[in-house]
Chain A
Amino acid sequence: AQKITQTQPGMFVQEKEAVTLDCTYDTSDQSYGLFWYKQPSSGEMIFLIYQGSYDEQNATEGRYSLNFQKARKSANLVISASQLGDSAMYFCAMREATSNDYKLSFGAGTTVTVRA
């Protein structure tokens, strides 16, 4: 079964506007972590933001915020004030506490294109 689902293959957003990237996850663990990564066309994976399952507040990092809805198993990424440099692929990932290998399971990704 797919652990991470990202239903938006591609999105366009106008510069300076906000964009929300959807992510839903599937786990029976009580303790887990959710991560978002950015992958520009150059290919490297850039860590953006982390949310722990026991964190009561939504995580924020600069222009990135995570809309965490535990009951719905949803962890959407919000990018505010989009910039041209935000054009990239974005991946949602999850690590479950019961997996002692600490591996991340990734979604299929969402490609964001910021228009001037």
Chain B
Amino acid sequence: EADIYQTPRYLVIGTGKKITLECSQTMGHDKMYWYQQDPGMELHLIHYSYGVNSTEKGDLSSESTVSRIRTEHFPLTLESARPSHTSQYLCASSETLYSKMNFGSGTRLTVV
């Protein structure tokens, strides 16, 4: 069930470029999240949102920013990409305290 969508799936971009990673969900969930994951490593929460017009920083400091203007949409932006931003970015949503977290397929970002 692909109820949460991320685009692009893969992105190779030059240093200094501005990029936006898209994330959309069709389930009407209020809570959404961005996790960052280096290959073979654990997931680190970088941003989350309680709902429209709510954004919070996660446990891992990130130079990226997020916005939540609509319930279904939670994009992540890097104003000036650097090689240190190379990683996988996973978007997720959750409905209740006891329900699973639904993940998108991820965006694998490479900054050259």
User: Which residues of A approach B to under 8 Å, CB–CB?
Assistant: 33, 35, 37, 42-45, 47, 50, 52, 89, 91, 93, 95, 97, 101-104, 106-109, 111
Given A89-B40, A106-B43, A109-B42, A101 and B56 contact (CB-CB distance below 8 Å): yes
- Per the 8 Å Cβ criterion, residues 56-109 of B in contact with A are 56, 58, 88, 90, 92, 94, 96-98, 100-106, 108
- A104→B98 CA distance, assembly (Å): 11
With a cutoff of 8 Å between Cβ atoms, the chain B residues found around residue A95 in the complex are 97, 101
Q: Which of A44, A91, A101 has the most CB of B within 10 A?
A: A101
Query: Are A44's CB and B105's CB within 8 A?
Result: yes
Nearest-neighbour CB distance to chain A for B53, whole angstroms, equals 15
Can you name 13 A-B pairs with beta carbons within 8 Å?
A33-B98, A45-B106, A47-B100, A47-B101, A50-B98, A89-B40, A91-B42, A102-B31, A103-B48, A103-B58, A104-B45, A104-B101, A108-B42
With a cutoff of 8 Å between Cβ atoms, the chain B residues found around residue A101 in the complex are 31, 48, 50, 56
Query: Are A109's CB and B41's CB within 8 A?
Result: yes
- A106→B92 CA distance, assembly (Å): 14
- A93→B43 CA distance, assembly (Å): 10
Task: Among A35, A97, A107, point to the contact of B42 (Cβ < 8 A).
Answer: A107
Q: Which of B35, B48, B101, B108 has the most CB of A within 10 A?
A: B101
With a cutoff of 8 Å between Cβ atoms, the chain A residues found around residue B100 in the complex are 35, 47, 50
With a cutoff of 8 Å between Cβ atoms, the chain B residues found around residue A45 in the complex are 43, 90, 92, 103, 106
Query: Are A43's CB and B106's CB within 8 A?
Result: yes
Given contacts A103-B58, A106-B42, A106-B43, 4 further A-B contacts (CB under 8 A): A44-B106, A93-B101, A108-B41, A109-B42
Nearest-neighbour CB distance to chain A for B13, whole angstroms, equals 18
Query: Are A103's CB and B33's CB within 8 A?
Result: yes
Nearest-neighbour CB distance to chain A for B101, whole angstroms, equals 5
Nearest-neighbour CB distance to chain A for B86, whole angstroms, equals 14
With a cutoff of 8 Å between Cβ atoms, the chain A residues found around residue B41 in the complex are 108-109
With a cutoff of 8 Å between Cβ atoms, the chain A residues found around residue B105 in the complex are 42-44
- Per the 8 Å Cβ criterion, residues 13-41 of B in contact with A are 31, 33, 35, 40-41
